[in-house]
Amino acid sequence: MHTLRFRQVHLDFHTSPDIPGIGARFDKAQFQAALRLGHVDSITLFSKCHHGLSYHPTSVGKMHPGLSFNLLRAQIDAAKEIGVATPVYLSAGLDDVAAHAHPEWRTVNDKGQWLGWVAEPAKPGFRMMCFRTAYLDYLCDQIREACRLFPEANGIFLDIVDKRQCLCESCQRYMRDNGLALDNPADIDRAAEDTLRLYYERTTAAARELRPDMPVFHNSGNIGPRFREKGWLDFFSHLELESLPTGGWGYDHFPLSAKYVAGLGFDYLGMTGKFHGTWGEFGGFKHPNALRHECAAMLAFGAKCSVGDQPHPDCAMDESTYRLIGEAYAEVEAKEPWCRDVRNVADIGVLQECGLDGSTQSRPTAADTGAGRMLLESHFLFDMLDAASDFSPYRVLILPDAITIDDALKAKLDRYLAQGGRLLLTGASGLDADRRRFLFDVGAETYGPSPFAPDYILPREGLRSSWLSTPLVMHPVDTIPGGGSSQRLRVTDGESLGDIFDPYFNRTWEHYCSHQHTPNRPEPSGFVCGVRKGAVAYLAHPVFSLYARKGMVAVRDYAMGVLRQLLGAPTVEVDGLPSTGRVTLQDQAAESRKVLHLVWSPTSKRGGIDDKDVEVVEDLIPLRGISVTVRPGAPVKTVRLVPQGTPLPFETAADSAIRFTIPEILCHQMVELA
């Protein structure tokens, strides 16, 4: 496994050919001083950008016309001189130079139109290339050249790589030769998948032609279950999780991505940006406290750190940027000894929908996102899984809302239950394809989807919010068949989790009430909102999709109340941390210790990107007196705050749980249990 460094910078450099004086202010001493100021130990540098221009002399491509010297060589030599690693970047999927010279290499949609980051030729944006054309030969030659010219590179980073449904002449010829129909969407998708594999095979081989151990990463923006299912991970040496919270990803994207890749056996890093927004924002800066928070979260979720930057075309390193990065990375540097070679500890596994529906979906669905948010906010320890994951370490598995269960998965889940596991099923999960029969014994019979949308629930006491005593509306969502209404459910030999109340009628042109939906009838419908029988609990609504869409705290409290009953005593319990705080427990076996991470910074809504709110961290506010209970599974002799080294008094209960109080948390606090 390739081991990554902790404090990386991704130095974007997509620079127009119309800008002169490229690198005119590059100065080795100033470059090195910026890296030292930023506490940087690895910097990804550009061989070729999206414009298709190279930043060194090239016999394959085209050197930037405004560049008069070997910029990449100067940057690598300067970084290496002070012990900073230098992965090398090449744009793979976008290339304006190649697109202008060879329009026949461009990706074409099913209407015969070229594809790119903009649909109209008169709009600015990069051109997208097809890997089924001779462009792939050109790209591989560029990769081989970069590896030959810069053999000391610490990896090859290939960007904008995905499965593209293309009908250029080369793709049409491939489809005809392989009996695939141009008017069949499934065949077009099959050809796209074949082309992507061809890309992976050839570019990885090119990168490793001179050095078989050359690290390689192909950036697709999000690593999902398809990567393992299709065998694409065979072409990766490590993983980089691109997730700029203020650039459109939000603060929940990275934790859920990390919760999945932690189980894939790769070293991985989180990638944020120094920008207030997203890539290419010259003169944009996020608040230093935001970057401190984001790097702390990366460490807490088992990742190394990468921060994106883009210098001015003259290549003078920006002092404000590296002072900003340095504030965060100085803290990362001090924390590294407790963050190396760790394994995430989890009580709960969430079987993701996004890898199980037969689609190309790689990003988390609403159900996946809602489940992850509920668990993060409730401070449970969990992992995101796919069908190939080992289920045995988890005390409870959650199948959120719309999990399709084939024969192989059913057999695997049956074995898991037989070995003492527990299941939480919601919505359409756990039902056959017609939603008329349960695949597991839940202690109830189903009567099909409800005709009402929305309906109302009143969970029984102990499963609902402490402040709730009347029926709660369950808004319909569009993420599962039937429009997201509940499953009609009557208990047989299971235990009811609460009642459903029907509305007087659905809202139509014939009859409607008030602004949104009709109120509930005062009497229960006779159907239940959920049921539990032994190790299996089932909730009749797609609660996780609903939470992702609406953020209703009462819905979260209901679902998590049922989960707590299934789980029993969790490994970690925290009292006094807001729901926006994050808790993880990492096992550092080589050091014979576990490390508890608590991360919290207040966020606020500022501005918008594409009509979406931007969530910003600015102020850091201390939290005091956080009570923690940990069931570590092994004797604990010492508890101390790290990296401070401050011992904490603790007590051990009869069930071997240890209890202690953290005096103060400011953004991030680690606690060593040894």
Q: 534, 352, 536: which is closest to 440 by C-alpha?
A: 536
Average pLDDT, stretch 19-25? 98
pLDDT per residue as tens digits for the range 431-465: 998 888 999 999 999 998 999 989 999 999 999 99
* The pLDDT value given to residue 607: 75
**646-647: strand order across its sheet:** 343-344, 582-588, 593-600, 667-673, 639-642, 646-647
Predicted TM-score (pTM) of this structure: 0.95
The whole-angstrom distance between residue 554's C-alpha and the CA centroid of its chain comes to 26
CA distance linking residue 233 with residue 229, whole number of Å: 9
CA distance linking residue 545 with residue 548, whole number of Å: 5
Average pLDDT, stretch 143-165? 97
pLDDT per residue as tens digits for the range 621-631: 999 999 999 99
pLDDT per residue as tens digits for the range 31-72: 999 999 999 999 999 999 999 999 999 999 999 999 999 999
* The pLDDT value given to residue 610: 61
Backbone phi, then psi, for 97, in 5-degree steps?
-60, -50
Dihedral of alpha carbons 636, 642, 643, 646, sign: negative
The amino acid at residue 80 is: K
Average pLDDT, stretch 270-291? 95
The answer to whether residues 301 and 339 touch, using CB atoms and an 8 Å cutoff, is no
**Which letter, b or e, does each residue of 189-227 get, where b requires 16 or more Cβ atoms within 10 Å of its Cβ?**
eebbbbbbbebbebbbebbbeeeeebbbbbbbbbbbbbb
pLDDT band at 608 (very low <50, low <70, confident <90, very high): low
In this predicted structure, the answer to whether residue 613 has a pLDDT above a threshold of 80 is no
CA distance linking residue 550 with residue 590, whole number of Å: 43
* The pLDDT value given to residue 615: 86
In this predicted structure, the answer to whether residue 95 has a pLDDT above a threshold of 90 is yes
In this predicted structure, the answer to whether residue 401 has a pLDDT above a threshold of 50 is yes
For residue 120, give the 3-state DSSP assignment. coil
> Which domains, and CATH codes, for the chain?
7-340 (3.20.20.80), 346-567 (3.40.50.880), 572-673 (2.60.40.1180)
In this predicted structure, the answer to whether residue 582 has a pLDDT above a threshold of 70 is yes
In this predicted structure, the answer to whether residue 483 has a pLDDT above a threshold of 80 is no
For residue 314, give the 3-state DSSP assignment. coil
Count helices and strands (H / E) in the chain.
14, 34
Angle at 528 between CA 524 and CA 532, to 5 degrees: 150
pLDDT per residue as tens digits for the range 528-558: 999 999 999 999 999 999 999 999 999 999 9
CA distance linking residue 618 with residue 309, whole number of Å: 20
In this predicted structure, the answer to whether residue 612 has a pLDDT above a threshold of 70 is no
The answer to whether residues 291 and 307 touch, using CB atoms and an 8 Å cutoff, is yes
Average pLDDT for the chain: 94
pLDDT per residue as tens digits for the range 640-652: 999 999 999 999 9
Residue with tokens 């594409």: 610
The answer to whether residues 299 and 328 touch, using CB atoms and an 8 Å cutoff, is no
Lowest mean pLDDT among 113-122, 264-273, 510-519: 113-122
* The pLDDT value given to residue 611: 57
Q: 173, 54, 160, 60: which is closest to 116 by C-alpha?
A: 160
Dihedral of alpha carbons 63, 69, 73, 74, sign: negative
Give the alpha-carbon dihedral of 375, 257, 265, 339, to 10 degrees: -70
The answer to whether residues 204 and 216 touch, using CB atoms and an 8 Å cutoff, is yes
Average pLDDT, stretch 480-487? 64
